[in-house]
Structures are given as C-alpha cells and as structure tokens.
C-alpha cells in the first residue's frame, strides 16, 4: 500500500454542515506560541495557534506524541504561560489577570488526568473536599456537594473508601467529581481515559457526555484514541508540530480528512486488508488496484455493486464495506480490489455522483 493516487483533481465539495445553532464563544486562542527553554536551546511547542471553542462544546485535540497537545491545554488555565499571543476566556485575556483573578479563573476550570492524581492517604470525601477547603467553604456545604457529585458520577456510598480500594474507572469518576466541586464552566481532560480498559472508557465517556448535557459545561479533551473523539466530540483540531493543520466538525474531519497527518492518525479506525488476503489477491490476478470509496450518506442513492463491477470490467472483490454514524451522519466506506481500465473508474464515479471521495489506496 505505497502509492496514493487521487482520482479526482480536487477533493469533492464538503457536504452541507448540519443545522446546529451557533454557540457563544467560550475560548479563543490568537497567535499562541509557546517555547520552552532547555539546556540545548528553546523548544517551540506551539507555533501560532488560532482556535475558537464554543460554550457547551466538547472539543477534541489530536496529534502525534510531541505535537503540543498538553502544552496547548495547559495554556487554557495558565499552567503554562504563553510566549506570544493571547488566550481569551469569555472575552477576557487571561494573560492580563492579577494573581487573585487567576485564582478565581482556575476555580472555573476543572481538570482531570490520565493517572487520576488522587491523594492515596485521603478518603474519597476528603479528596473531593480539598478544592473547596482551599476556597474557604464550610464543611456542611462541602459534604452536601460531594454527596451530590458522587451520585452524579455513580459512586454513591463510596465517601469513606480510600483510592487504593477503587478500580481505575472508579478513581477517574472521583477525579471527575473532584474537578466539578467548584462548579466549573470548563473541564480540561488530558488523556483521561488512556489508562482505562475499553469498557471502562465507554462508561467514562458516557459520564462526560452526560455531564456536558446536564451541566452545560465546555469540555476540551485530548486523546490518542480516535474512537473517543468520534464518539463524544463536536469538533476536533489536529495538531502537528505546534500548528493546527486541520479543524472542523468531527463528522467532516473523520469523513473527509484533508491532511496526511489526520489520515495517519485515523488509520487505526480503518479496516485494513489482512496480509494473507492481500497476498492471495496478488497471486490470483497480478497487480490489482485497491480502491477506496467513501460516501457520506447525503446521496439519495446507494452504491450499486453490480453496476460498479459491470463498469469496471473483470472481477471486482469487495474487501470491506460498512456504514457508521458520526454525529448522526452516515459515513460509508467500500474497499474494492479491481483492475479498472485507465479513466473508466473516474468517469463512472462522476456519473454516479455517489461518493464523497475515491482513491486508489494502493495495489494488492
């Protein structure tokens, strides 16, 4: 699978975006740069980031290791100071805040971590109480709020348990409850499900989605698990070497990734041809093209396999086919092995108007 030839000179026009009401802006980054000073000179982690995140949105950030994701999320509560540019929250430049104002800002921003960061020597209730104690809130109020939140995250009755007695998923639920104690309007999640098994990940994602809906808070989420983004995020930004290479609604970025970086990141979601089948196809018929067709469910028609085979001539093997829903939109993918005469496939696809994208994904 070495060669990628685009059959269309330009990508097909993107489908109409869904009719979602515009959101008020919660976070804006303008020309944000971050350089770390190191013994061997400055390391540029962020190189001019412009982003806008809406109120109540679940916004995903993806990118390879070292792309700058953690640096970016940490500029949102000034755990990292920017080297240039501005971070505005509710229109306010947070770089201009006094120390007292910064404390207030951080109370409105909760954060959860990959390794939960709970205090092992304290009970669940004591862990939850910490941020409120620091804020000078009385004990009765703290306990009431903690009990409400433990109910919300599905941990009723665990007030007096120690973290060592909890599963990974339960610990992350405590982490989420703790992050919500000060009633934040923004929740930052840096690889919050990366230490969890798939089933527990599902339950934590469902919880985050529920909290997003019930409390209306904005969630900014970093993950290397593309399935997580697909499942819960409204929009996503792709980082590469400290720059945003692509951003947009998840259905659009996942359905028609424009950048090579995004394609590479999404590769684990795509079904590959098992090597033994690829080998058999190659030995059967010599060089056959591996043709990937994606369709976005906008078309009134469905792909007609018989018509495709007739047009291409010769045997056409269906290697993979499926439709899934992303944000309620159908996204389909067909992977075929065939030997089309030059130009025939393109002509056919244009006539059909079925597919959002068609490419020769390589040869088997």
Ligand X SMILES: Nc1ncnc2c1ncn2[C@@H]1O[C@H](COP(=O)(O)OP(=O)(O)OP(=O)(O)O)[C@@H](O)[C@H]1O
Binding site for ligand X (CB under 6 A): 36, 38, 43, 45, 63, 65-71
Q: Which residues are CB-neighbours of 144 under 8 A, at least 6 positions away?
A: none
The distance of closest approach from Cβ of residue 80 to Mg ion in the complex, given in angstroms and rounded to an integer, is 12
**Residue 31 vs 42, nearer CB to ligand X:** 42
Measure Cα distances from 20 to 23, 41, 57, 230, 232 in Å.
9, 46, 12, 18, 16
Closest residue to Mg ion, Cβ-based?
Answer: 70
Measured at the CA of 79, the angle between CA 73 and CA 81, to 5 degrees, comes to 90
**Least Cβ distance, residue 276 to ligand X (angstroms):** 33
Q: Which is nearer to Mg ion, 52 or 70 (CB)?
A: 70
Does 243 bind Mg ion (CB under 5 A)? Our answer is: no
> Minimum distance from CB of 70 to Mg ion (Å)?
3
- The site partner of 243 among ligand X, Mg ion, none (C-beta below 5 to 8 Å per kind) is none
Whole-angstrom Cα distance, residue 321 to residue 334? 4
Minimum distance from CB of 359 to ligand X (Å)?
Answer: 28
Query: What Rg value do the Cα atoms of the chain yield, rounded?
Result: 24
Integer Cα distance of 249 and 273 in angstroms: 28
Is 114 a binding residue for Mg ion by CB under 5 A? The answer is: no
Comparing C-alpha atoms, which of 244, 242, 238 is closest to residue 222?
A: 238
- The two tokens of residue 319 are 């290697």
Long-range contacts of the stretch 19-23 (C-beta < 8 A, 24+): 22/54, 23/54, 23/55, 23/56, 23/57
Question: Nearer to ligand X by C-beta: 40 or 98?
Answer: 40
Nearer to ligand X, 73 or 109 (CB): 73
Tell the residue number behind the tokens 């995004």, with chain if given: 262
Is the CB of 17 or the CB of 66 nearer to ligand X?
A: 66
Name the minimum Å distance from CB 138 to Mg ion: 37
DSSP state of 11: P
Residue 200 interacts, among Mg ion, ligand X, none and using kind-specific CB cut-offs from 5 to 8 Å, with: none
Q: Is 70 in the site for Mg ion (CB under 5 A)?
A: yes
- Stretch binding Mg ion (CB under 5 A), from 62-70, 239-247, 278-286, 334-342: 62-70
Q: Could you tell me the smallest distance in angstroms from the CB atom of residue 203 to Mg ion? A: 23
- Which residues would be at the binding site for Mg ion (CB under 5 A)? 70
């Amino acid at each position: 699978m070495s060669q990628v030839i685009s059959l269309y000179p330009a990508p097909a026009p993107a489908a109409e975006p869904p009719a979602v009401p515009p959101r008020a802006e919660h976070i804006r980054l303008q020309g944000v740069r971050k350089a770390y000073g190191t013994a061997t000179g400055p390391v540029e982690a962020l190189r001019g980031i412009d982003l806008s995140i809406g109120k109540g949105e679940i916004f995903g950030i993806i990118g390879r290791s070292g792309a700058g994701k953690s640096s970016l999320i940490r500029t949102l509560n000034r755990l990292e100071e920017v080297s240039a540019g501005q971070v505005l929250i509710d229109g306010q430049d947070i770089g201009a805040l006094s120390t007292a104002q910064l404390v207030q800002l951080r109370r409105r921003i909760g954060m959860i971590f990959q390794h939960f960061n709970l205090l092992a020597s304290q009970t669940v209730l004591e862990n939850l109480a910490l941020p409120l104690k620091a804020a000078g809130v009385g004990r009765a109020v703290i306990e009431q709020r903690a009990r409400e939140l433990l109910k919300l995250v599905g941990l009723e009755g665990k007030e007096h348990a120690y973290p060592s007695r909890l599963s990974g998923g339960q610990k992350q639920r405590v982490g989420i409850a703790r992050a919500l104690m000060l009633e934040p309007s923004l929740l930052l999640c840096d690889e919050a499900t990366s230490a969890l098994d798939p089933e527990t990940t599902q339950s934590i994602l469902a919880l985050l989605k529920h909290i997003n809906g019930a409390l209306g808070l904005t969630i900014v989420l970093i993950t290397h698990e593309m399935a997580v983004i697909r499942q819960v995020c409204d929009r996503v930004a792709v980082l590469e070497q400290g720059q945003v290479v692509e951003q947009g609604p998840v259905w659009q970025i996942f359905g028609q990734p424009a950048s090579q970086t995004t394609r590479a990141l999404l590769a684990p979601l795509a079904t590959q041809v098992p090597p033994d089948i690829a080998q058999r196809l190659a030995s059967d018929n010599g060089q056959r093209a591996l043709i990937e067709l994606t369709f976005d469910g906008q078309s009134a028609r469905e792909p007609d396999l018989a018509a495709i085979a007739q047009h291409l001539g010769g045997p056409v093997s269906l290697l993979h086919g499926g439709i899934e829903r992303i944000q309620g939109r159908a996204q389909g993918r067909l992977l075929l092995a065939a030997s089309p005469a030059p130009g025939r496939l393109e002509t056919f696809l244009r006539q059909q108007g079925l597919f959002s994208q068609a490419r020769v994904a390589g040869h088997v």
